[in-house]
Structure 1
């Protein structure tokens, strides 16, 4: 009897742990730190289509991606007031190409690229040390980032729609972003 009670307890604990990673409320149910170290809830982005990207300052993809992410954000969020955002998560796991601290990362992004989109504290995005929000992205999409500038497109509930690696430029996925925005706006009208 004691053995079965232990087994039942282990199963319960296991399901609670996996539920914590599963993100029942989607990506937006997680808490992270912003680039200045302040804890924030991603819940603030619920109701928006988001493009979540792991960033690096010293990568061969940096210039193209930062420019295109900034352009897309400015066009859709700032100019057209669409329910869209880019969420940038610096990461140093790939080629040690983000060696800077959060303060220097923010300065680089804001001054060099005039990046207006939300930036978050540097995190790990893969492996056992990956932030739980990124574990949700990789587990729900079955796409694990293996380099800088992986892009995850999320619907208004924080569910992954699609994911692309760094060789896919931001311009080429704009159509998918626009489709996701239209679908979100259509679902709002139906309510």
Structure 2
């Protein structure tokens, strides 16, 4: 199993100009390590729409978009995999945190979650590139290749969370949309 906070730190070290979309536990951990909060879309006010919002952002602009999702929430919106796979945005990477701890439900198992093969769902939904990692070193060594290729790409990380998960950021989705939009507009204008 991969310590989820270490996976987030590895993604942040790789990241430069990518737009990040995150929700639930992934959002809590991501917001505590991200060095580019001006490019982070925080779904603190809605749970299971990270893949859908990420798709919209990927279609609206050319930058790579990385969706940080959790298994319990993706289960609630599996249809998003089919939509992303059919539309096929080459600039989208969908990273799924699969945790055996069920942290988002305070340790309560979620019925039906254990039997879902999310990588198979993504592949059958049309994601041309799928990966599964349960070892941090293997993930870190493969990170550049995983993120560089044309997407949509689906990455499952078998993770374990720290006992103390960071709090949600204080920003709302509306706040982060305004911030990301301003950053993208400023960057599109180039240096002055």
- Give the TM-score, by structure 2 length: 0.39
* Larger-gyration structure (1/2): 1
TM-score (norm 1): 0.39
Give 1 or 2: higher strand fraction: 2
